[in-house]
Structure 1
Amino acid sequence: MGERRLSRRRLLKTAGGMTAAMALGGAGVVAAAAPASAAPGDGFGLRIVERNEGDPRMWFYRFATDAIGWNPGVNVLLPDGYHDSGSAYPVLYLFHGGGRGSDFIEFDRFGIRQLTAGKPVIVVMPDGGHAGWYSNPVGSNTGPRNWETFHINQLLPWVDANFRTHAEYDGRGVGGFSMGGFGALKYAAKYYGHFASVSSHSGPASLRRDSGLVVHWANATSAALDLGGATVYGAPLWDEARVSADNPVERIGSYRDKRVFLVAGTSPDPVNWFDTANETQVLAGQREFRARLGDAGIPHEWHEEPGGHVFRPGIFSRDLDGILGRLRPAG
C-alpha cells in the first residue's frame, strides 16, 4: 500500500462553492436553500475576505470570523460535473493534522483531487490551526482560537447554504489525518446528528491512557504553536469535564448507527522519535477504542498497516468507497 509522508512545501491555494440546510444536533442552525447558480456569500458569522473560484473543482475561500483571531481558509473540492448536473451531493469534511507546516491545503498536497476523481462527493477541507485540536481552548493569549465554533456553528451551515448538499445526518461524513483524525472522532460523537460516517487515519482515540499522554501533548503543542502559552485543556489542572466530552473512548454510545473506520501504523521509524511517539500512542489508543466498540456491539472497520505516522492514499481510497456507500447518494 503506497504511503505519503507529510510534506512541508507550500502550494498555491485553490478551493470552493455550495447549497442548503440544517445543522443538526448541537448547533441547531437552519440555512435556507440557495439557487444552484448563486455565488457563495457571507453568513453564519463568516465574511469572505479572499476567494478563488477559477478552478472547475477546487474552490478556495478565506474568512473573517469572530471565532478565530486570524482569517482561516477552506478548500472546497467539487465533484466532476457539479456545475451542470443540478444534483445535490453528500459532503465529506476532511481535517488536517498538526504542525507548523499543516493547514487546509494538506490534502491537496496528498493528492485529494486524484483520489476523488469521478467520485460524487463534495469534500470540505478547512483550517484547524497548527495545534488547534479541533477545540475551543480553555484559554488563549493570542486572541480567539475557537475552532470548534468555526467548524460546527459557522462553516457547516455556510456550506449547506451555498452548495448543493444533502443537508442531513445521512448526507455528511467526517474524517481526518493525525490531529484531524482525533477531530473527526470528537465531532462525530459530540455532534451526533451531524455525521453518519467517521474516519480516523492515524488519529488518537484515547486521551487519558498512559497518564493522559495525549492531553499533555495537546496542551504542549497548542501552547507552543497556537495559544501563546495557554492550553487546550488547562494546565497544570485539566478541565476534566472538557477532556471527557472530547474523549472518544468515553463516548462509545455516540458511535452507534454510524459507519466507523480506523487506521493505524504498526511499525514507526525507530530512529524518528516523533514518528515512534505518535504512532505508538495512536495504535494503542485505537486498540482500546476498538475493544470498547466491540464490547458495545458497535460495528467498525479497522486496519493496522505497516509503517508509521503517515497518510496512506490506498487506504483512503478504500475508506472513501465506504463513506459513499454509507451516505445518501448524489441525486
Structure 2
Amino acid sequence: MNEVSFTHLSIPYNLKKKYYRMKRLCALLVLMFAVVVVFAAKIETVSTYSKVMNKEIKAVVVTPDNYSTAKRLPVIYLLHGYGGNYNDWITQGKSFIPLVDTYDVIVVCPDGAIGSWYFDSPMDKNFQYETYVTKELIPFVDSHYATIADRAGRGITGLSMGGHGALYLSFRHQDLFGVAGSMSGGVDFRPFPNNWDIAKRLGTYAENPDNWEKNTVVNLVHLLTPKSLSLIIDCGSEDFFYKVNCQLHEKLLDRNIPHDFIIRPGAHNWPYWNNSIQYQMLFMSNFFTKTTPVK
C-alpha cells in the first residue's frame, strides 16, 4: 500500500495530526527494537572463591547472544580502576557490550578491590590479586565456559589501575596472555608515592623502594621480546598519566617491541574510556582472528 499523502486531499487537521503522531510512534518502536537487538549479549554475575585470600570474589561475565558450549570462544579480561569494582564496566562503560556480539568473544570483568593494582602485595595477605587472576580466576572461567583455553585466545586490558594491572599481568605471564592493552594506565606509579593506596600495598617508597621498582610496569619491559606479546596502549592528552604512558612508549621503542600507541584528546574519565574500548576490542579481535588457537 502506498503511503498516504495529504498534499491533494482535504483531510481534517486532527486526522492529519493523529497520522503523523502514529508515524512517529512507529519509528520510535523500531528504534527501541534496534537497541534491544544491539544489546543482545548476556550478562551474568558469578562468585569465585579465592583460596589464596580465603574469600569470595565476584565477577561479571558477558557472553554473546549466540553463545553455545558447542563453540569455544576467545576471552578478554577487562579490569576496572582504583575505587571501582566488577560492576563498573557494565554500568558506566556499556559501549563494549554490543562488541561482544560483533566480535564473538567472552568478556570477564573481575573485582580487583580498591587499590589492589593487581599484584601480590608483600605487605598485606588480603591483596594477592596476581595469584587470584592468573591461578584462580582464569581456571574458573575456562572450566565453566566454552573458552579457547590458550594464550592465543586470551587477552587482557583495563583502565587506570586496571591498565597497569593488564600490562603487569600480561608482561609477567606471557604463557597465559597473547594480547594485552591499557587505557589511561598508571604504568609508572613511582611519581605518585602518596596516591591510590599504593603505599599500603608496597610500603612507603622511602622505606621500601625495591617493592616499588619491581612492581611498576615501566620497569618490566625487559621481560618482553619482539612479538612475544601483542600490545595496544592509549592515553588521553589531558590525562595525568599522559607523561608516564609516553615514557613507556619510548622504552618499548628502545627495545624494539612492536605495539600500537594511541594518543587522543581526552582526560581520565568514562567518556574517554567508552571511546577507547572500541579500539582495544577491535585490536584484540584482529589478534584472535590471525592466531591459530589450541582448542
Q: Aligning the two structures, in what range does the TM-score lie when normalised by the shorter sequence?
A: 0.7 to 0.9
SS at match of 1:71: strand
Tell me the CA shift for residue 298 of structure 1: 1.3
Paired position in structure 2 for 1:147: 129
Distance in 2 separating the partners of 1:151 and 1:161 = 14
Distance in 1 separating the partners of 2:49 and 2:146 = 23
8 Å contact kept, 1:264–1:304: yes
Cα separation, partners in 2 of 1:316 and 1:69, compared to 1, 3 Å: same
Tell me the CA shift for residue 69 of structure 1: 5.5
Q: Is residue 213 from structure 1 mapped to residue 191 from structure 2 by the alignment?
A: yes
Paired position in structure 2 for 1:79: 64
Structure 1 counterpart of 2:263, one-letter code = E
Tell me the CA shift for residue 116 of structure 1: 2.6
Q: Is residue 262 from structure 1 mapped to residue 244 from structure 2 by the alignment?
A: no
Q: Is residue 174 from structure 1 mapped to residue 124 from structure 2 by the alignment?
A: no
Structure 2 counterpart of 1:82, one-letter code = Y
Distance in 1 separating the partners of 2:276 and 2:127 = 32
8 Å contact kept, 2:122–2:201: yes
Structure 2 counterpart of 1:74, one-letter code = A
Paired position in structure 2 for 1:116: 100
Paired position in structure 1 for 2:20: none
CA deviations 1:184-232 (Å, max 9, x no partner) are 010011112111111100002223xxxx2245424xx256xxxxxxx21
8 Å contact kept, 1:137–1:233: yes
Structure 2 counterpart of 1:76, one-letter code = V
Distance in 2 separating the partners of 1:201 and 1:185 = 10
Total equivalences in the alignment: 246
Structure 2 counterpart of 1:197, one-letter code = V
8 Å contact kept, 1:91–1:122: yes
Paired position in structure 2 for 1:287: 246
Paired position in structure 2 for 1:322: 283
Q: Per residue, is there more helix in 1 or in 2?
A: 2
Paired position in structure 2 for 1:299: 258
8 Å contact kept, 2:82–2:115: yes
Paired position in structure 1 for 2:267: 308
Distance in 2 separating the partners of 1:80 and 1:254 = 38
Distance in 2 separating the partners of 1:191 and 1:215 = 26
Task: Select 1:103's aligned residue among 63, 85, 89.
Answer: 85
SS at match of 2:201: coil
Task: Select 2:47's aligned residue among 55, 62, 65.
Answer: 62
Distance in 2 separating the partners of 1:199 and 1:163 = 23
Larger radius of gyration: 2
Root-mean-square deviation over aligned CA pairs: 2.2
Matches within 5 A, 1:234-249: 234-235=203-204, 236-238=206-208, 240=210, 242-249=211-218
Gaps of 5+ in 1: 1-54, 224-230, 268-278
Distance in 1 separating the partners of 2:139 and 2:49 = 16
8 Å contact kept, 2:151–2:177: yes
Distance in 1 separating the partners of 2:193 and 2:72 = 39
Distance in 2 separating the partners of 1:315 and 1:191 = 24
CA deviations 1:73-104 (Å, max 9, x no partner) are 01111123112x611111101100011xx100
SS at match of 1:75: strand
Structure 2 counterpart of 1:105, one-letter code = N
Structure 2 counterpart of 1:77, one-letter code = V
Greater relative CO (CA pairs within 8 A, separation 6+): 1
8 Å contact kept, 1:80–1:118: no
Identical residues among aligned pairs (%): 23
Tell me the CA shift for residue 63 of structure 1: 3.0
Structure 1 counterpart of 2:278, one-letter code = S
Distance in 1 separating the partners of 2:140 and 2:48 = 11
Distance in 1 separating the partners of 2:163 and 2:138 = 18
Cα separation, partners in 2 of 1:251 and 1:139, compared to 1, 3 Å: closer
Gaps of 5+ in 2: 1-39
Distance in 1 separating the partners of 2:202 and 2:232 = 26
Paired position in structure 2 for 1:250: 219
Tell me the CA shift for residue 131 of structure 1: 1.1
